[in-house]
Amino acid sequence: MTAKNAFYAQSGGVTAVINASACGVIETARAHPDKIANVYAGRNGIIGALTEELIDTSQESADDIAALKHTPSGGFGSCRFKLKSLEDNKREYERLIEVFKAHNIGYFFYNGGGDSADTCYKVSQLSEKMGFPVQAIHVPKTVDNDLPITDNCPGFGSVAKYIAVSTLEASFDVRSMAATSTKIFVIEVMGRHAGWIAAAGALVEDEGIPVVTLFPEVEFDQEKFLAAVDAKVKANGYCTIVVSEGCHWPDGKFLAEQGTRDSFGHAQLGGAAPVVANMIKDALGYKFHWAVADYLQRAARHLASNSDVEQAYALGKAAVEKAVEGKNSIMPTVVRTSNSPYAWEIGEAPLSEVANVEKMMPMDFISDDGFGITQKCKDYLYPLIQGEAYPPYKDNGMPDYVTLKLAAVERKLGDFEL
Amino acid sequence: MTAKNAFYAQSGGVTAVINASACGVIETARAHPDKIANVYAGRNGIIGALTEELIDTSQESADDIAALKHTPSGGFGSCRFKLKSLEDNKREYERLIEVFKAHNIGYFFYNGGGDSADTCYKVSQLSEKMGFPVQAIHVPKTVDNDLPITDNCPGFGSVAKYIAVSTLEASFDVRSMAATSTKIFVIEVMGRHAGWIAAAGALVEDEGIPVVTLFPEVEFDQEKFLAAVDAKVKANGYCTIVVSEGCHWPDGKFLAEQGTRDSFGHAQLGGAAPVVANMIKDALGYKFHWAVADYLQRAARHLASNSDVEQAYALGKAAVEKAVEGKNSIMPTVVRTSNSPYAWEIGEAPLSEVANVEKMMPMDFISDDGFGITQKCKDYLYPLIQGEAYPPYKDNGMPDYVTLKLAAVERKLGDFEL
């Protein structure tokens, strides 16, 4: 069998470690030249395949590919673009196969969350039917940590570490000043549907910090919340609040959509943090500060979890190894074999069982009062934030992140309207 | 001469490295038992001296004192409490001297910014007159970087590093997604009067990031700003905006005080970042994300600058060494002797020249268009963010920060009304 090319694409919101998976894919592919001739990457994700904007990764030096392991963001570009169902939009799938055929691509590595798992699954199905079989392997990635079967999703562990450490540091700050100044610190974290990241903030309880956490899984109860905060301030002099961006009222409306308006009467997009902070000020009178971490959290490669970086790389590597072994329509997974000390190995899941299944945070991870996490949750989380995998820094004090050349592969097909 | 006790207090907003100065003070004092019997610390800053709530630092182990060097926040508590002028409030100064006298305190180390330098100066003056001379030494600290004479202020370098790195990371994130999604990222940084911290964010220009920076030194010009942002998006596909919390309109009104109101009509305290982001959306239509770093930035010991940690410690150490040499009414300073490689030594400044003098950012540090920094500014900033001084981490993945015992010294005086 002559070697075929591989196609790799990054999907959805990028993370601190998605490039580590890219590094795992490309380095491992380079070690199998008998099976994989070249890895083409999609410029800006799957859109790059549809528009035939492929990046020739063979033009990138070994050092630059290695540097992906410590560089946050999506080195090849990413996009939020979900292919529609096969019935509604067969032409997009057919175009994908056409591009794969034109560039002799026999392997499809798709690095993303639930939507990309679904696309990956469909490509594996359709390519067979269309007489150009492509081995489609999904490489898991999402800070939302909501893919099934795998112990966790690369990207989540690093956000969790960043939020846990940052919440602790800011809480120490407030503790220092609380006797005469700020008594409330509110930090808003990502997670529109699931409270995984908020749960990481709640870990500071183990460091002696009085903390109240607001999860998307628990309907917001203003009275109960204010009572919980007030009790903590009265007992400890201060209180930290971790609020998920997905925290919502019983009617489903997000706290962040409080209907705030600027002086011209325009609806103002706010965050949940200022809403919560002002609510406390109005009801309890406590001086507050608030932070919205936004992209800082998912891009914070400077404080990546070593567990996370190692797993991101290992899953990219395993994807290629499994492809070379002839596997198709699967996703390599992390299998936890021990909590303490943390031990894990690589497993695999059929894409048919991954696609369109969302793993929610188990309700027994949230404490009875709804404002904290259980020991079971802590046992799950700590291993994922273990170890520090610092990037190298330049002499000037800035991190030595790589920007790739991104050389274009010559096009062979006509234009395609997205 | 028999040894006297020393009093140490932390003042104003705490930083990632003020405890490193405390460590320098206490470790150096412990090395001079012939001159300094014990170091008492003020519980919650200078208020602890006025109310005679002193902390006995001899109860803290050598390991715990050493751990202060890598622990953010104010380990003994801090406060924003400015003693009034001698004329208006002589009783507070007299109370201070009375407490010092009762506890045989002959050295006063005050760790803070401009206000505490002023207090420190007055104590040195008054104590002499009151017949109980106290050697008053100011240890510089402020993320605002606005103390005169010293090359920089401990606390600033670490915030600068955190903001420069975080802005770079989030910009990489936006760059990855910009073709089809978010094109604008706004990060709000501290600095109500001076743009030092915003200037650190502007360093990402050297990493190839299109960035527009809004300084408090430059009156906000909405039209010019929007044109600058639009030009960068058109040229690069995306743009990062660093906005100082002190950015204001020509009439002096902060951008953050846009007069936003919630659905009940209450004035809503927002940040400058959402105001700027929504302004861009309204005028140019670009999709945006925004972050407000708030306390995360000044507490971020996990990404402290090594220059900063070393200087914070060295200034605390020098304060004690100079006191032991008999110096009074001074502040040890950082003297820059070379930019590249960065070299510095400890100098000293008389408090009479420090008190009530605010060092602003030189106007030749800001580029002609008002939206960036000059090479001169970069040459100043880079040395301050050089090197990484990571804290140790525990096996569970959390940083190993110390919480002190804070044992109370027995009181000898009556109550004092603040």
* Catalytic status, residue B206: no
Q: The sheet that has B54-56: what strands, in order across it?
A: B54-56, B36-42, B4-10, B105-112, B135-140, B330-338, B343-350
Q: What is the pLDDT of residue A269?
A: 46
A169 contacts B302? CB cut-off 8 A: yes
Using the Cβ of A395 and the Cβ atoms of chain B, whether some distance falls under 8 Å is answered with: yes
* Mean per-residue pLDDT, B289-306: 97
- B155-170 pLDDT, tens digit each: 999 999 999 999 999 9
Residues 57..76 of B with a Cβ closer than 8 Å to A: which?
Answer: 71-75
Nearest to A398 among B164, B271, B299 (CB): B164
A177 contacts B14? CB cut-off 8 A: yes
Angle at A48 between CA A42 and CA A54, to 5 degrees: 55
Residue B39 in contact with residue B385, Cβ under 8 Å? no
Rounded Cα distance, B169 and B291, in Å: 13
* Mean per-residue pLDDT, A152-179: 98
Residue B244 carries which DSSP code?
E
What percent of chain B has pLDDT above 90?
88
Where is B271: in which H helix or E strand?
none
Strand partners, A291: A187
- Taking alpha carbons only, the member of A68, A33, A17 closest to residue A385 is A17
- Average the pLDDT over each of A70-79, B82-91, B292-301 and give the range with the smallest value: B82-91
Mean pLDDT (chain B) is 95
Rounded Cα distance, B251 and B244, in Å: 17
Tell me the pLDDT band of A366, cut-offs 50, 70 and 90: very high
Q: What is the pLDDT of residue B259?
A: 56
Rounded Cα distance, A172 and A178, in Å: 10
- B93-124 pLDDT, tens digit each: 999 999 999 999 999 999 999 999 999 999 99
Using the Cβ of B398 and the Cβ atoms of chain A, whether some distance falls under 8 Å is answered with: yes
The CA radius of gyration of chain B, in Å to the nearest whole number, is 23
- Residue whose pair of structure tokens reads 């990402």 in the numeric block: B204
- B349-394 pLDDT, tens digit each: 999 999 889 898 999 999 999 999 999 999 999 999 999 999 999 9
- Taking alpha carbons only, the member of A384, A377, A374 closest to residue A307 is A384
Q: What is the pLDDT of residue A259?
A: 56
Q: What is the pLDDT of residue B356?
A: 85
* Mean per-residue pLDDT, A302-325: 98
- Taking alpha carbons only, the member of A329, A15, A319 closest to residue A154 is A15
Rounded Cα distance, B34 and B32, in Å: 5
Task: Answer whether residue B2 shows pLDDT above 90.
Answer: no
B401 contacts A385? CB cut-off 8 A: no
Q: What is the dihedral of CA B175, B176, B177, B183, to 10 degrees?
A: 0
Residue B121 in contact with residue B75, Cβ under 8 Å? no
Rounded Cα distance, A244 and A202, in Å: 11
- Average the pLDDT over each of A255-269, B58-72, B127-141 and give the range with the smallest value: A255-269
Which residue does chain B place closest to A208, by CA atoms?
B403
Which residue does chain A place closest to B174, by CA atoms?
A73
Q: What is the pLDDT of residue B260?
A: 54
3-state per-residue secondary structure call for B341-353? CCEEEEEEEEHHH
- A107-155 pLDDT, tens digit each: 999 999 999 999 999 999 988 888 999 999 999 999 999 999 999 999 9
Helices (H), B326-407: 351-354, 375-381
Alpha-carbon distances, residue B6 vs A75, A112, A178, B110 (angstroms): 55, 59, 25, 11
Total Cβ atoms within 10 A of residue A66: 14
Tell me the pLDDT band of B269, cut-offs 50, 70 and 90: very low
The alpha carbon of B22 is separated from its chain's Cα centroid by a whole number of angstroms, namely 14
A170 contacts B296? CB cut-off 8 A: yes
Q: What is the pLDDT of residue B258?
A: 62
Q: Residue type at A173?
A: D
Mean pLDDT (chain A) is 95
B172 contacts A72? CB cut-off 8 A: yes
- Taking alpha carbons only, the member of B200, B49, B196 closest to residue B120 is B49
Q: What is the pLDDT of residue A356?
A: 85
Residue A392 in contact with residue A304, Cβ under 8 Å? no
Give rounded-to-5 percent helix, strand, coil for chain B.
Answer: 40, 20, 40
Rounded Cα distance, A398 and B210, in Å: 17
The CA radius of gyration of chain A, in Å to the nearest whole number, is 23
Residues of A tagged active-site: 144
Rounded Cα distance, B67 and B404, in Å: 10
Residues 299..318 of A with a Cβ closer than 8 Å to B: which?
Answer: 299-303, 305, 307
Q: What is the pLDDT of residue A33?
A: 98
* Mean per-residue pLDDT, A219-229: 98
pTM for this entry: 0.97
Q: Spot the catalytic one: B118, B144, B146, B151.
A: B144
Mutate to test the interface with B, among A47, A279, A398, A406 (most CBs of B within 10 A): A398
- Taking alpha carbons only, the member of A368, A185, A172, A383 closest to residue A274 is A185
DSSP A168-179: HHHHHHHHHHTT
Complex ipTM tops 0.85 = yes
Residue B10 in contact with residue B18, Cβ under 8 Å? yes
3-state secondary structure of B405: coil
Residue A55 carries which DSSP code?
E
* Mean per-residue pLDDT, B196-203: 98
